[in-house]
Structure 1
Amino acid sequence: MLRVRQEKPLCELPSNLGPISVNRSYIDLEELDEHAFPEVKWGGQFSPYDCTAEHKVAIIVPFRDRQKHLALFIKYMHSFLMKQQIEYRLFIIEQAETHPFNRGQLMNVGFLESQKMGNWECFIFHDVDLLPLDPRNVYQCDKQPRHLAAAVDKLGFELPNSYSFGGVTAVTLEQFKKVNGFSNRYQGWGGEDDDMSHRLRMMGYRITRYNMSVARYTMLSHSEALRNPKRTYLLSGTKRKNKEDGLSSLEYVVIKKNLHQLYTHIIANLKEKLDSIEIPYLANMLFGDKL
């Protein structure tokens, strides 16, 4: 007698979800119990057991010198995401060299490397110091790019401006490729998220958000990062640089790729580039009126 294979039903978001609290008790990464989530497969990948996930999501986390936050982030996010019945994998992308932190480049690296490890359709770019406070803030993509971290406690749970696209964002494979990924030119804190916002809007996309009562995050405490002094200047060149600055110009070398039970850890060296368009600006900074 032939057995009829039963297809699993599509997963649905549980109806009893609501705001949750955060235990901020820090643990060392070495103390993280990798067996705490037996449902998570090696490399930090989860698929619902009794239903078929509608969304396949790669979560890309740019990282350096935030060990204090990483273990808490990994533990918290698995608990949070499994409630949403999505298929996902957690990628930690670490910058190895001593150059100023380049969040945009790391997210481009994460996008390309994650594609080698699964057919991901949706990409969540996620700061390690932000934790979501409501599971109804579903980590999935839509026809339009989505700004997930719209309401952060440090900012009074208010949106800084209408074009804001920082902290935690969701874009599809098609959307990310169409805008050529993030800019590689922003070193230090700030600018790459506004640049991405400009890229998306130039391509005709409209940034969407969940209700502000749902899109709430708490920011873990940390020292202020060095602000990018070239931020305003670089943003002024987004329109003429986006086609040649991004995925198409990315250069990097993977130093290590470690698979842990709860996450995939990729360490990369990023290659710095000096754009010819920046030379007059840099020269003016160095020499001022002597030129």
Structure 2
Amino acid sequence: MKVLLTSFKFKYIFTCIFITFIISCLISIAPISIEECKCNNIDKIDLHEQNVNRVASKHHKHHLAILVPFRDRFEELLMFAPHMKKFLDKQDIDYHIFILNQIDRYRFNRASLINVGFLEIKQDFDYIAMHDIDLLPMNDELQYFYPENGPLHISSPELHPRYHYPTFIGGILLINRKHFLQVNGMSNKYWGWGLEDDEFYVRLKEAGLNITRPPNLLTGIQGTFKHNHNRNHRKRDMVKCFNQREVTRKRDRQTGLHNVSYKIENSINATIASTPMTILNISLMCDEFITPWCQCDTNNVTKDKKTNDKKIKR
């Protein structure tokens, strides 16, 4: 009896194993059910990836190049770099800082440096911030988002620590690639300090572009920006020579983005206080027939009159 019982159990176990094997084989050759399972999984993965990409594109659809005209301002750069990284990282925008370092023998030309910077980055960035190195934004409501409908003047005259006339657009101005090309960039005639942004204002107005400014900021002149410029330590180059005063009070229809003359001596990727940036060492060229005041000597200097008139004649 025990022998029969043992034999029955053995046959039963063998039969179960055989049936399990047959079922496994049938499942393995059932392509329809397997494919349906795979397709469902793929659909779920694709939808997840599309959602991730949609969120990423919302914040990083546009690429900002911060163009900083520069010469012998290393102390300000050490303050500027970490401050701007901390300030802009809060806004979750895609940006990169470019230091436009003028290394030629001519007088400083802020507008030409901005033209050069734009030409060098325009393929990869769709808007720029024309940014003074000594002006640091302090109010988090100053947003560096893409200015689609026209230039955005961040440092408006109601907020700038020093300049308060209505047509002032210096300090920090955001403009998209299309609009900067539309007005042919900035004038290349402004060697030395001042007036290049006032001429640019006329270009924008003639092109019918509307300039907007940050609304409803309560921090005012004292608390919106930190201005690091020391007039005693760094005196502005306000010398006027030859016919410079006469020419630079008029709208420039000769020069701009299309004919800025320069050479990039080299490009350096650098990091200051964990802030990545690119330094472009730029040599500007001067046509002394058009702008002889790119260099001044004592024989050709004229005494500059103080004036409150900031308007450029059209």
TM class by shorter chain equals 0.7 to 0.9
Distance 1:109 1:77 in 2: 22
Distance in 1, Cα, partners of 2:96 & 2:139: 20
Tell me the equivalent position of 2:229.
221
Whichever residue aligns with residue 107 of structure 1, its letter is I
Measured in 2, the distance between the counterparts of 1:58 and 1:111 equals: 8
Structure 2, gaps ≥5 residues long: 1-37, 303-314
Aligned counterparts of 2:71 and 2:111: Cα–Cα separation in 1: 13
Whole-angstrom distance in 2 between the partners of 1:152 and 1:84? 20
Deviations 1:193-228 (A, max 9, x none): 101001100111122101253682111032231115
Q: Distance in 2 between matches of 1:83 and 1:287?
A: 48
Per-residue deviation, 1:7 = 2.9
Q: Distance in 2 between matches of 1:217 and 1:191?
A: 21
Which stretch shifts more, 221-230 or 261-270?
Answer: 221-230
2:103 corresponds to: 96
Letter matched to residue 91 of structure 1 = F
Among candidates 51, 54, 64, match of residue 7 of structure 1: 51
Aligned residues: 239
- Structure showing greater radius of gyration is 2
Is the 2:270–2:277 Cα contact (8 Å) retained in structure 1? yes
State the distance in 2 between where 1:85 and 1:94 align.
Answer: 27
Letter in 1 for 2:235: E
1:205 aligns with 2:212: no
The 5-angstrom pairing of residues 71-150 of structure 1 reads 71-116=78-123, 118=124, 120-140=125-145, 141-150=147-156
Check 1:214–1:55 CA distance in 2 against 1; reply closer, same or farther (3 A cut): farther
- Contact (CA 8 Å) 1:144, 1:207: kept in 2 or not? yes
- Partner residue in 2 for 1:17: none
**Offset from partner CA, 1:142-194 (integer Å, 9 cap, x none):** 31111111155632xxx622211101101111110111101111011101110
Structure 1 residues 64 and 122: CA distance shift in structure 2, 3 A = same
Alpha-carbon RMSD across the aligned residues, in angstroms, is 2.7
2:264–2:283 CA contact under 8 A, matched in 1: yes
Counterpart residue number, 2:310? none
Question: TM-score, normalised on structure 1?
Answer: 0.74
User: Which amino acid is 1:93 matched to?
Assistant: L
SS in 1 for 2:281: strand
The alpha-carbon distance between structure 1 residues 100 and 287, as it changes in their structure 2 partners (threshold 3 A), is closer
8 Å Cα contact 1:133-1:218 kept in structure 2: yes
Selected match of 1:164 from 165, 168, 175: 168
Q: State the one-letter code of the partner of 1:172.
A: N
* Cα displacement (A) at 1:124: 0.4
Measured in 1, the distance between the counterparts of 2:114 and 2:76 equals: 18
Give the structure with the larger helix fraction.
2
Q: 1:235 to 1:208 in 2, by over 3 A?
A: farther
Q: Would the aligned equivalents of 1:189 and 1:227 in 2 still touch at CA under 8 Å?
A: yes
Counterpart amino acid of 2:278?
T
Aligned partner letter, 1:227: M
Is contact 2:184–2:256 with CA below 8 Å preserved after alignment? yes
| 1:114 CA drift (Å) | 1.4
Partner of 1:28 in structure 2?
none
Give the aligned partner of residue 267 of structure 2.
Answer: 257
Q: TM-score, normalised by structure 2?
A: 0.69
Q: Which residue of 2 aligns with 1:268?
A: 282
